[in-house]
Structure formats: C-alpha cells, structure tokens
C-alpha cells in the first residue's frame, strides 16, 4: 500500500505533555492515563487543545519505549503534577496520514524511512503520531493517524 508523504515546514508548537518509559504492552493504558491527566489540567486552565493528541516516540525499543504523550496548546503554561510544558520543535517534517489499525502502521513507517533517504534527508530519530479518532469511537479500520518525522 502506498501512502502520500509530504514535506512540511512548521513553527515550534507549545504542548502540555507527560513523558515516561514503558513497555509496548502497557502503552495503551499509559497513553489513556496521560491524556486524562493532561485534559484535567487543561480543564482547570480553561484551555482547549490546539490540535489532536499525540504520542512522541524517542526510540523504537518495544521493551523500553521512551515516549511523550501530549496535546498541542496555544501558549506555554506552568508545569503541574507531572504535566510539563514543552514544545515540538519547528523545522522540516516528513508527514503522512495512515488509515487503519495501529498494529498495521509498520509499513507506513518503512515507506516514510525510504522516502526520507531517497530525498536526501535524515530523521532526527523522534516519531510523532497524532490521533484524530480513537478505537472507542470508530472501528480499527477507520482509525486516522498522522505520522510526523522531524528531519535534519
């Protein structure tokens, strides 16, 4: 299956995030808990997300994933109870939309890695997934995930 891959340039984006390490099998629970914690804080602030929730993968070690779950926001806010103010750095990004089950995304990643190499770019080694819906809302075949890879 071929995916449309785009080259985008964007400004730095403030986020509220929770960063942790976990095993792949614990990731769905960790993501849910982290999003709940962040949304609770955003509710206290009277703030709405500026974009879809994301998970950033700082490595692809399935036994010791270094991950950050967060929401883009309109501006920086103070840290509170494990929720940190951070930012997604600006710059060039390879970007693609994947439709289907999370467990089938490996092919999209491999095509993006190939595209990056063929176009003379290098990945920074951080991978963002923005989730536009959830398994609790739609069948797995209808899940929409935007995969974003910062480039150097």
Give residue 76's pLDDT: 93
CA distance linking residue 141 with residue 37, whole number of Å = 28
Report phi then psi at 52, rounded to 5: -65, 155
Tell me: the pLDDT tens digits for 19-37? Answer: 999 998 999 999 999 999 9
Contacts with 149 (C-beta within 8 Å, 6 or more apart), sequence order = 93, 94, 95, 112, 116, 123, 124, 126, 127, 128
Predicted confidence at residue 135, as pLDDT, reads 87
| Cα–Cα separations (whole angstroms), residue 20 to 24, 82, 91 | 12, 10, 25
pLDDT tens digits, 87-140: 999 999 999 999 999 989 999 999 999 999 999 999 999 999 999 998 889 999
What does pLDDT average to over the chain?
Answer: 94
Q: How far is CA 114 from CA 76, 80, 93, 98, 122, in A?
A: 35, 40, 14, 16, 10
Domains with residue ranges and CATH for the chain: 5-150 (3.20.80.10)
In contact, 58 and 66? CB cutoff 8 Å:
yes
Q: How confident is the model at residue 61 (pLDDT cuts 50, 70, 90)?
A: confident
Of the pLDDT bands very low, low, confident and very high (cuts 50, 70, 90), residue 41 is: very high
Query: pTM for this one?
Result: 0.93
């Amino acid at each position: 299956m071929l995916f449309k891959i785009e080259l985008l340039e964007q400004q730095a984006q403030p986020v509220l995030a929770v960063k942790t390490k976990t095993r792949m099998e614990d990731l769905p629970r960790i993501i849910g808990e982290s999003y709940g914690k962040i949304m609770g804080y955003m509710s206290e602030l009277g703030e709405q997300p500026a974009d879809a929730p994301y998970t950033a993968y700082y490595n692809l070690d399935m036994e010791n994933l270094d991950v950050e779950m967060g929401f883009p926001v309109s501006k920086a806010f103070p840290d509170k109870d494990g929720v940190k103010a951070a930012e997604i750095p600006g710059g060039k990004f390879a970007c693609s939309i994947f439709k289907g089950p999370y467990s089938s995304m490996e092919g999209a990643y491999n095509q993006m890695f190939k595209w990056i190499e063929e176009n003379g770019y290098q990945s920074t080694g951080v991978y963002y997934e923005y989730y536009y819906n959830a398994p609790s809302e739609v069948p797995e075949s209808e899940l929409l995930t935007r995969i974003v890879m910062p480039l150097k």
